Structure 1
Amino acid sequence: MVRYDPTVPAVRLSPTSYVVLGMIALRGPSTPYDLKRAVGHSVGYFWNFPHAQLYSEPDRLTVAGLLALSVEDTGRRRKTYSITGAGREALRSWLASPTDEHFQMRDIAELKLFFNEVGDPANVPNLAAEQIKQHEQRIAVYEGMVERFGDDPASRPRMITLELGLEMEHAALRFWTALAEGDLDRLRRARKA
């Protein structure tokens, strides 16, 4: 059984820590499987990380006193985590602090494009075509989410993140389409307009 240990020094909280704390604060008591599903249907679209961390991070946060743990007495002995007052305060403090880190784009296609001159330049049209398809599919998913949840007052705060995601997907689609059409100058002109 994982228990809070007051002798454990303060832990360093990572973005994954805040994802766990935030999800439990939004959803209420959750199992690691609940967290995995909730992340997969929400921030997982924008913040990619190994979901195995959603199984280990809650125990670490419990030892630090930021989550409380209850375990079923019978059956699968499922672990359910709840946010503590200290966990809620850590989350609120993090949310209130400015973010001075620059936006990170970890896009494999962009990496392949960068190193393409080492490979075969004939691969660029195939890479662009695949990226166009992927961005169109993601835009369709996001727009479906807007249709389903856009008028729900409880979802409005999270819909702002979805709007940012849509803008990023449309920007990426514009880029890959211009690249596929051999017209990157069109993007440059549009930025100057």
Structure 2
Amino acid sequence: MAPKSIATLTKLPFLVLLVIFASSQAYDYQFIETNMTLYFQEYYAGPNATVNTLTGIPGNDWAFDSFGTTYVVDDPITQSLDKNSSEIARGQGIYMTSSLDGANMQVLISIVFTSNEYNGSTLEIQGRSLQAANVREVSVVGGTGIFKFARVIAKLETLNVDTSTFYALVQCNLTVLHY
């Protein structure tokens, strides 16, 4: 009796794969390409800070160029350069200085759309960001709502840093493929 049940179990993975393949053929999705430019309005200190130090290595300075320093972020995002323009999204997530020399950050950011036709949708950005580079590329690794199964690239460029007001303006050019 045992050999029959073993033979049945060896056929099970084949049947599962057959069902998965057959069901995937039923959908004929076409990717949509969306291009947009967004502006992260970032305040890295002061009473209205949108970036705050979460943790770091004890005994080391906790700074953007110090290995292990981790930040939590909740930046307003606008469609124009003007920091007083209407907010269309929030940039929420974590930055971590991830190289011993402090040159790289690991970026984990959700762009959470709060208005316009993308309201309620998200884009997930993840990757290594070379802090000293003029333009930093990170991956778009997913999304929700309108941006289901999103992927491709986000290019980040710091346009302005005002140390007197602790303000930074970061342009984000997105090319996104999604369903």
TM-score (norm 1): 0.20
Q: Greater helix share, 1 or 2?
A: 1
TM-score (norm 2): 0.21
